[in-house]
Amino acid sequence: MKLFEPIRINSMVLENRIVLPAMVTRLSGEDGYVNKDIRDRYLRFAKGEVGLIVLEAMAVHTAKSGPLLRICDDQFKPGLAELARMIHDTSPSKVVPQIIHFLKISRSGWRQKISDLSIEEIKQIVINYADAAMRAQDCGFDGVELHMAHAYTLSSFLSAKNARNDAYGRTLENRMRLMSEVIVAVRKRVGASFPVGVRFDGEECIKGGYTLKDSQKIALRMAQLGVDYISISAGGKFEDAIPKPGEPLYPYTGYSGDRCMPSADYPDGANVYLAEGIKQYINSNGYYTPVIATGKISTPELAEQILESGRSDLIGMARALLADPDWPKKVREGRWGNVIRCIYCNVCKSLDENFRRVTCTLWPKGSLQAPYSDDKIAPTWSKQDPLGVQLYTGCTRLVWSEAKDNEGVYGYDIFRSENGGPYFRLTAVKRLGYWDTEVVGGNTYSYYVQAYDFAGNRSEPSNKVEVTIPFPV
C-alpha cells in the first residue's frame, strides 16, 4: 500500500504516510509543562506506529490561556526534550511540535484583534516563532510545525477579513507578509536541513473568508519560501463562533468549526478537495512540497485512494487515531478488522471547548488513555439471533442481547444496508440498543451488529433483521 511507503521530508524520513495532526489534549496544567499524562498520550501514538506525530499546539509566547503546553521559554525545554526522546525510544515515529501564537481573549466577550497590534508587537511575533522553533530543534524534535490555521494570529493575518490598513493588510501580498517573515526567520534560525512544516486553512469557511482561490497562492508562496510540508485544515474561526455568556469565545462552535472537525453528518473526506486543489496548483507551478489532507479520513480504502489518485501526499487522521492509536500498526499487519473506529460524535471537541481533559467517548468510562490489549479471543453472542428491530414513526429501534468476552465487551458496531445494497458501518455504541433516525419512507433497511473487545476482536455478525419503512402519506 502507498500508505505504508516511506516518505522523505527534508532530513526526516517517515516510515509511513499517516500523520497525527495536532490535537490539543488539555492534559497539561496551566503551567504549560509536559507531564505524565501528556507523555502517556503521545507514547501511545508512537507505539501505534503513527508516521508523523504533530504535538498539540504549544504557545510561543506567555499570554494567559487555559491548560496548554508552552515552548515560550527555556524552562520548558527539559520536559519537551524528554518527551521527544521517549517517543524516539518507543518507535520509528517522527515527532514535531506545532507552535502557536494567539491573541488575548476574555470571558466578557472582548477579544484582541490583529488590527490592534503595533508594528513592534508584530515584529515580536516573528521573534517568538523563531525562538520557539530553535527550542524545538534544541529539544531533539524532528522538525517544527508553524500553526497558521483557524482563529489564531497568523491565520488572522492571512484571512480575507484582515482589516489592517497598512503593509500587513488590504492586499493578498500584504496578508501574506507576516507569514513570510515568520517562515524566513524560522528558517534562518534552524538552518536548511531542519524540517519546517506549516498548517493553514485551505478555506476559511466563513462569509467573506478566503477560499481555494487564495489558499492556492498562499501555499505556493509557502513552497517558494522553502517550507517542507503543508498541512491543510479548514475553518475554525472566531467570526462565526457562537458566544456563550461568561465563557471565552470558542472558534469551533459555528459553521466554520463544523468544517474544521466535520461530524458524523458530513461525508467522509469532507476537506480532501482543499488539499487536492492546493497540491495540483503548487505542482503545476513546479513545487512538490508534500501536502497533508485531513478531515474525516478513517478507512484504509479512502486513505489509499486519496494517495493513489495523487490528491495528497500524506493522510492526517486526528479523531480516528484518538479512538484507536494502534490504527497504523493494525492496518499494516492486515488487521483493519480489529480497529476501533471513530464515530465522529465530537465529544473530544466539546471536552476541548470546556477546557476538560480530551478523551474519546468510545474508551471505557473514566479512562485517560486508549485501552491496550493483545488478547486474541473474540466476543461471542450469549444467545442465538440476538438482534431484533422495531418500527416507530420516522425511525427504527434496534435492540440486541449482550455478547460475552474474556476481557470485556468494549462496544458494538452497527451495520446497515439499504434496499439490498452493500452493508455500511453506521456507527458504534456501548449500550444494547440504537435508534436509527436516518431512515426514510419507501426504503427497506437491513441491519446486523458485531461486538468488539479492547483489542478490537470482532464477534461473528449477529442475525440480520430487515424492515420496510412505509411512506408517511
Q: Where are the alpha helices (DSSP H) in 293-369?
A: 300-308, 319-323, 327-332, 347-353
Question: For residues 23 and 362, which CB has a smaller minimum distance to ligand FMN in the complex?
Answer: 23
- Does 198 bind ligand FMN (CB under 6 A)? Our answer is no
Handedness of CA 225, 232, 144, 51 (dihedral sign): negative
Smallest gap from residue 352 Cβ to ligand FMN (A)? 4
Angle between helix 272-284 and 212-224 (nearest 10): 50
For residues 421-444, one letter each, b for 16 or more C-beta atoms within 10 angstroms of the residue's C-beta and e for the rest, the string is eeeeebbbbeeeebebeebeeeee
Question: For residues 260 and 274, which CB has a smaller minimum distance to ligand FMN in the complex?
Answer: 260
Q: 66: which 3 cell numbers?
A: 487555559
Out of 19, 57, 274, 314, the residue judged to bind ligand FMN by CB under 6 A: 57
Out of 9, 14, 18, 22, the residue judged to bind ligand FMN by CB under 6 A: 22
- Does 98 bind ligand FMN (CB under 6 A)? Our answer is yes
- Does 18 bind ligand FMN (CB under 6 A)? Our answer is no
Give backbone dihedrals phi and psi of 404, rounded to 5 degrees, phi first.
Answer: -115, 150
Clarify whether 281 is annotated catalytic. no
- Does 318 bind ligand FMN (CB under 6 A)? Our answer is yes
Distances from the Cα of 144 to the Cα of 34, 60, 371, 416, angstroms: 17, 12, 29, 43
Handedness of CA 18, 23, 27, 31 (dihedral sign): positive
Degrees, nearest 5: CA angle 237-182-191: 135
Distances from the Cα of 256 to the Cα of 105, 160, 250, 431, 438, angstroms: 19, 14, 11, 32, 24
Query: Which segments of 60-92 are extended strands (E)?
Result: 69-70
Question: For residues 318 and 451, which CB has a smaller minimum distance to ligand FMN in the complex?
Answer: 318
Smallest gap from residue 145 Cβ to ligand FMN (A)? 8
Smallest gap from residue 66 Cβ to ligand FMN (A)? 12
Out of 3, 24, 190, 409, the residue judged to bind ligand FMN by CB under 6 A: 24
Question: For residues 360 and 387, which CB has a smaller minimum distance to ligand FMN in the complex?
Answer: 360
Tell me the C-alpha distance between 217 and 10, whole Å: 22
- Does 23 bind ligand FMN (CB under 6 A)? Our answer is yes
Q: 374: which 3 cell numbers?
A: 493483545
- Does 261 bind ligand FMN (CB under 6 A)? Our answer is yes
Q: How many CB atoms lie within 10 A of CB 108?
A: 9
- Does 199 bind ligand FMN (CB under 6 A)? Our answer is yes
Question: For residues 318 and 387, which CB has a smaller minimum distance to ligand FMN in the complex?
Answer: 318
- For residues 446 and 413, the answer to whether their CB atoms sit within 8 Å is no
Residues between 144 and 173 with contacts to ligand FMN, criterion CB under 6 A: 147, 149
From the list 79-87, 207-215, 313-321, 376-384, the region that binds ligand FMN by CB under 6 A is 313-321
Question: For residues 185 and 315, which CB has a smaller minimum distance to ligand FMN in the complex?
Answer: 315
Residue with cell 507569514: 179
Tell me the C-alpha distance between 192 and 187, whole Å: 7
- Does 349 bind ligand FMN (CB under 6 A)? Our answer is yes
From the list 83-91, 127-135, 347-355, 389-397, the region that binds ligand FMN by CB under 6 A is 347-355
Question: For residues 262 and 379, which CB has a smaller minimum distance to ligand FMN in the complex?
Answer: 262
Out of 358, 387, 389, 403, the residue judged to bind ligand FMN by CB under 6 A: 358
Give backbone dihedrals phi and psi of 7, rounded to 5 degrees, phi first.
Answer: -140, 135
Q: 201: which 3 cell numbers?
A: 486553512
Residues between 230 and 249 with contacts to ligand FMN, criterion CB under 6 A: 233
From the list 18-26, 80-88, 121-129, 406-414, the region that binds ligand FMN by CB under 6 A is 18-26
Residues between 267 and 296 with contacts to ligand FMN, criterion CB under 6 A: 294-296
- How many chain residues interact with ligand FMN (CB under 6 A)? 25
- For residues 405 and 458, the answer to whether their CB atoms sit within 8 Å is no
Out of 61, 279, 319, 330, the residue judged to bind ligand FMN by CB under 6 A: 319
Q: In what order do the strands lie in the sheet with 433-436?
A: 387-392, 395-400, 433-436
Residue among 129, 152, 229, 448 flagged as catalytic: 152
Smallest gap from residue 233 Cβ to ligand FMN (A)? 5
Question: For residues 79 and 257, which CB has a smaller minimum distance to ligand FMN in the complex?
Answer: 257
Q: Which are the catalytic amino acids?
A: 152
Positions that interact with ligand FMN (CB under 6 A): 21-24, 56-57, 98, 147, 149, 199, 233, 260-261, 294-296, 316-320, 348-349, 352, 358
